[in-house]
Amino acid sequence: MSKFLRVGNGDYKVSVRNGGSIILDATGGSGDLSGKVVVTGDLELKGDTQTINSTIVTIADNIIVLSKDNIAAGLPASLNYRSGIEIERGSVPNAFMVYDEQLAWTLGGTSGTGTWTFEQGTNTVPIKATGMFSDANLYLNPGTGVLSVTNTTNYEQRVFTYSGGVVVDSGSGVTIEDDIIPNTKSVVDYVTYALSTGSVPARLQESDTAIEAHDFSITGSDSKLQFDINGTTRAELFADRLEMFDVMIQNNEITTTTSNADLVLGAPGSGSVKIKDHLEMTETAGENDAATDPAKPTEGFKLYSKTQSTGGSGLFFINKSNNRDELVSKNRALVYSMVF
């Protein structure tokens, strides 16, 4: 049986003994829920559990306070260091939007402990949004992982223009939009395109010192690497030779790059030029040179080889005094000593 109570001004206390319930009923009976219970003053609930069975709750407050009256330095262990919102999902794990006091982070030179996490049971779940805005630098820290576009389809084809699975120039360039972040596949494809078309600068340079690549398919000249130092080409590496500082190394030969120039071997100080094998002198100075006697040197002497004469050695010399002769072999020297 229902009882109705009306009271006037003043403070009144209504208590129910032996754990009974107080029911405020504003229904019209027979399941009619059109009535209201209106509390015009503040409502303070001191029980440990409040259950609201409403399907729609409207709250005018712009900030909802959770873990109120916590006086610890952060969320305490008694709250498992966490506070947030839990959503029941029936027979599958519940979903959480939780502030976790123990999550440490470091971004952009700043670090701290405590941040938000979105979970489904024990799993961290992604957030769906059309963007993320920051009023300063935006930092992403994947920890020991990477930033990935896994599970997208042909993402690279949203970065560069493609045809037949390869990057191409659409007529207005190869990029679809300047600010799109590429993935590794798009970078590999672009480098392949750039190298095949020669659109990537083939030059590494700082000020007037550089290394530049030249390919026959682009230049029509011998492929080479060119080394420029202080604005002057000092070395060129070809497929079959190296030319540097007026010296050419080709196969097993060392020659000068300029005709009629001297090739000098030196060992400054007390060092010596040593030859650790046989020394062979051809009768001509070069493959295409005529077999002519060399001119006198400005100092010292020159040794050269040609068809042997009366000396029987084939080894000739000319000194700075323009004395030219053949070194005498041992056998000829013995003969000459007996004759003369």
Mean pLDDT of 105-109: 88
pLDDT at 62 over 60: yes
pLDDT at 28 over 70: no
Task: Write out pLDDT tens, residues 75-93.
Answer: 999 999 999 999 999 999 9
Three-class DSSP category at 216? helix
pLDDT at 113: 94
Q: From CA 333, how far away is CA 300, in angstroms rounded?
A: 24
Which secondary-structure segment (H or E) carries 205?
strand 203-206
Burial of 213 (0-12, 13-18, 19+ CB in 10 A): middle
Q: Which residue in 283, 329, 330 sits closest to 305, CA to CA? A: 283
For residue 247, what are the β-bridge partners? 244, 256
Q: How far is CA 324 from CA 109, 116, 207, 319, in A?
A: 81, 97, 53, 7
Q: How far is CA 209 from CA 204, 206, 226, 228, in A?
A: 9, 6, 11, 5
Task: Indicate the pLDDT class of residue 172, thresholds 50, 70 and 90.
Answer: confident
pLDDT at 126: 92
pLDDT at 58: 87
Side chain identity at residue 118, one-letter code: F
Task: Indicate the pLDDT class of residue 5, thresholds 50, 70 and 90.
Answer: low
pLDDT at 296: 92
pLDDT at 7 over 70: no
Please state the pTM of the whole predicted model: 0.53
Q: What's the mean per-residue pLDDT of the chain?
A: 87
pLDDT at 22: 77
Q: Which residue in 292, 275, 274 sits closest to 283, CA to CA? A: 292
